[in-house]
A = this chain, B = another copy of it.
Amino acid sequence: MARNTQVAADHNAPPITRVLAEFVANHPSRGWSDAVDHEAHRTFLNWLGCAVGAAKHEAVEAALAAVQELQPAPQATLLGRTDKVDMASAAMLNGISSHTFDFDDTHLKTIIHPAGPVASALLALAEHTGASGRELLDALVLGIDVACRLGNTVYPDHYDRGWHITGTTGMFGAAAGCARLLGLDAERTQMALGIAASQPVGLREQFGTMTKPFHPGGAARAGLMSALMAKHGYTASPKAIEAPRGWAQVVSTKHAWNEVTDELGERFEISFNSYKPFACGIVIHPSIDACVQLRERGIAPGQVERIELKVHSLVLELTGKKEPADGLQGKFSVYHGCAAGLIFGRAAEEEFADDIVTRADVVALRRKVIATVDDSIDEASADVTAVLADGRREHVFVEHAIGSMQRPMSNADLERKFHGLSDAILGASRSEELLKACWSLGEAPDVRSLTALAQP
């Protein structure tokens, strides 16, 4: 039975498992610019709001019911809930809730949502051990760097072949961050990364089901447990990532090893993290943004005769649903997105509720949107003209939508988004306290002062 027993092996990979382990174990605390540290606070805050906002979603309820069959010890908080569970289950459940609304952060170079797996593991562990906010932030920056650099190494091939890259790189980020929080040395950190390498979580086939948000949750849990096992002497291959049969070579035909090593410790991938202003797929964002701008110019829905929308063909291919029947379909309708932008000036999770997507005035306005394809327009842009009843034409061209790297959400934008997610769960005043605790996380002697605020 002669057969090819090795596919596309590269026997000359640099020792990146080791390189990353030394980096994670030895990089100095806060060994980066103020801008990087500020971005870590923004990433954490945005992630926390998303997790709190989805705390009572049916996906979280179902996963929690399964976890409760294990009679878990009350070690760590479920964000937005009164329940506590063991720290590994908390990592999983907070990972699920943070990704449930598809509203979390995005590392645009790889489409990884890095905070889901990394922050979920770290906060659960930090709460149980009583770590400081600074220790948590250090681990967050380093963990996200590991996950995203490995994502850069294999993207896009890895993603294209069907892996949901958030959960299939996220366990490395979670393992790295937890190893840092636990104070593991480079050898044990290397083992933690090695154990994690055997546990990628996620197929793109699951998009549209509860298993999609399970991916960051599962990766958070896997990474945390990998670090705990390594702490106690569990071993793995020291080149589990780069070996001919290591993770990178098994899950991808692209292996740009330099993505791990280039400017390591100087450039931090968290700098390239972005936050969604709108709770839907990124290609609709420029169109929504344009309609929000029209509203800000004083244009009311009643004045509008029609909205002329010119976009790249990909926009209509992915989000061309003309008559969405419910909230989920609304997320795939640029027509609904435009209507929401003009009527509400926003498109957060509430604007994709079933009863909003089917509300008479919203339906009437979305039917006035005339979309045409223009491939000279970039897929990250939109050209929108409101034609008013009095004949006036108001034109907006959005080159880069709000939330992109070019036009990042401001801190005030992030705070508004946070309140939009959290107020219904925790109340406005508690949400404001929690926001403040996020902004001052770096000074918190014990993260439990923050997790206490995240419970209703």
Q: B-contacting residues of A (Cβ < 8 Å)?
A: 1-7, 58-59, 61-63, 65-66, 69-73, 75, 86-89, 156, 160-164, 167, 194-195, 197-206, 208-211, 214-215, 218, 225, 228-229, 231-237, 239-240, 243-247, 249-250, 312-314, 317, 375, 378-379
- A237 touching B206 by the CB < 8 A rule? yes
- B203 touching A1 by the CB < 8 A rule? no
Considering the complex, give the chain B residue whose CB is closest to the CB of A163: B250
- B235 touching A209 by the CB < 8 A rule? yes
- A75 touching B86 by the CB < 8 A rule? no
* Across-interface contacts of A164 in B (CB, < 8 A): 198
CA distance A237 to B284 in the complex (A): 22
- B203 touching A62 by the CB < 8 A rule? no
- B198 touching A211 by the CB < 8 A rule? yes
CA distance A214 to B226 in the complex (A): 11
- B232 touching A66 by the CB < 8 A rule? yes
A198-B194 contact in complex given A1-B379, A66-B234, A162-B7, C-beta closer than 8 Å: no
* Across-interface contacts of A195 in B (CB, < 8 A): 211, 214
- A205 touching B161 by the CB < 8 A rule? no
- A214 touching B198 by the CB < 8 A rule? yes
CA distance A203 to B240 in the complex (A): 8
Considering the complex, give the chain B residue whose CB is closest to the CB of A89: B70
Sample of 8 further A-B pairs with CB below 8 A, known A61-B232, A70-B86: A4-B160, A59-B235, A66-B225, A70-B89, A72-B86, A162-B245, A198-B218, A204-B245
CA distance A225 to B236 in the complex (A): 24
- B198 touching A231 by the CB < 8 A rule? no
Considering the complex, give the chain B residue whose CB is closest to the CB of A5: B160
- A87 touching B66 by the CB < 8 A rule? no
Chain A, interface SS category: loop
Max count, chain B CB within 10 A of own CB: residue among A244, A245, A247, A317 = A245
Considering the complex, give the chain B residue whose CB is closest to the CB of A6: B160
Separation in Å of the A293 CB from the closest CB of chain B?
24
Partner of A194, one of B4, B75, B162, B209: B209
Partner of A317, one of B5, B160, B200, B208: B5
Partner of A233, one of B58, B72, B198, B313: B58
* Across-interface contacts of A86 in B (CB, < 8 A): 70-72
* Across-interface contacts of A375 in B (CB, < 8 A): 2
- B69 touching A71 by the CB < 8 A rule? no
Separation in Å of the A393 CB from the closest CB of chain B?
28
A5-B245 contact in complex given A199-B201, A231-B66, C-beta closer than 8 Å: no
* Across-interface contacts of A378 in B (CB, < 8 A): 1
CA distance A375 to B375 in the complex (A): 55
Considering the complex, give the chain B residue whose CB is closest to the CB of A243: B205
A-B contact pairs, 7 of them (CB 8 A): A5-B160, A70-B72, A70-B88, A72-B72, A72-B86, A203-B245, A214-B234
Considering the complex, give the chain B residue whose CB is closest to the CB of A318: B5
* Across-interface contacts of A237 in B (CB, < 8 A): 203, 205-206, 208-209, 211
* Across-interface contacts of A5 in B (CB, < 8 A): 160, 313-314, 317
- A59 touching B234 by the CB < 8 A rule? yes
Separation in Å of the A7 CB from the closest CB of chain B?
4
CA distance A161 to B248 in the complex (A): 11
Separation in Å of the A179 CB from the closest CB of chain B?
13
- B250 touching A236 by the CB < 8 A rule? no
Partner of A239, one of B167, B205, B246: B205
Max count, chain B CB within 10 A of own CB: residue among A7, A202, A204 = A204
- B73 touching A70 by the CB < 8 A rule? yes
CA distance A173 to B205 in the complex (A): 20
CA distance A375 to B63 in the complex (A): 50
* Across-interface contacts of A239 in B (CB, < 8 A): 205
Partner of A234, one of B63, B246, B312: B63
